[in-house]
């Protein structure tokens, strides 16, 4: 089985792209993750990744690029987290949790509202071989 994979790397360009992408994502995520843990913001990565869900759903409904919706809602979540932390007595992790759960719930509602023939979950979870 391993030999088939190695042979496939020479034969199929999409496997080369998938392997390179996986290695780069692994290196970058490990490096950024260390800094996030050291700053005491371990929930931030999870919160931002779930906070972009409504942006992706709205982008899908409007037929625009998913990256635009994800960036807008990711930045919006960061701004809301910072606003809650600086203007209340709530701790940072609590502000992250509030924002994370609110945006995730909004995303699930929007996915339920988007009646389409294409299942949005296929777009959200992706496929490394499609890179």
Kindly list the averaged pLDDT for each block of 10 residues, start to end, along the chain of length 131. Answer: 80 84 92 85 83 90 90 94 90 88 91 72 70 66
What dihedral do alpha carbons 116, 122, 125, 129 form, nearest 10°? Answer: -140
Res 105: pLDDT: 93
Res 42: pLDDT: 79
Res 119: pLDDT: 66
Q: What is the DSSP letter of 128?
A: G
Res 18: pLDDT: 85
Residues 120, 60: contact at Cβ < 8 Å? yes
Query: CB within 8 A of 56, min separation 6: which ones?
Result: 66, 69, 70, 73, 107, 120, 123, 124
* pTM confidence score: 0.72
Res 70: pLDDT: 92
d(CA 38, CA 42): 8
Show the tokens assigned to 7. 């042979």
Res 74: pLDDT: 92
């Amino acid at each position: 089985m391993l030999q088939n994979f190695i042979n496939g790397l020479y034969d199929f360009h999409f496997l080369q792209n998938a392997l390179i992408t996986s290695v780069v994502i692994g290196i970058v995520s490990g490096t950024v993750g260390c800094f996030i843990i050291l700053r005491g913001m371990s929930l931030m990565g999870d919160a931002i990744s779930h906070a972009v869900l409504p942006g992706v759903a709205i982008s899908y409904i409007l037929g625009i690029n998913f990256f635009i919706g994800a960036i807008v809602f990711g930045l919006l979540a960061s701004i809301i987290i910072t606003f809650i932390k600086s203007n209340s007595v709530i701790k940072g992790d609590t502000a992250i949790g509030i924002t994370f759960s609110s945006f995730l719930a909004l995303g699930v509602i929007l996915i339920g509202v988007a009646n389409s023939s294409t299942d949005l979950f296929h777009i959200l979870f992706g496929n490394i071989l499609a890179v």
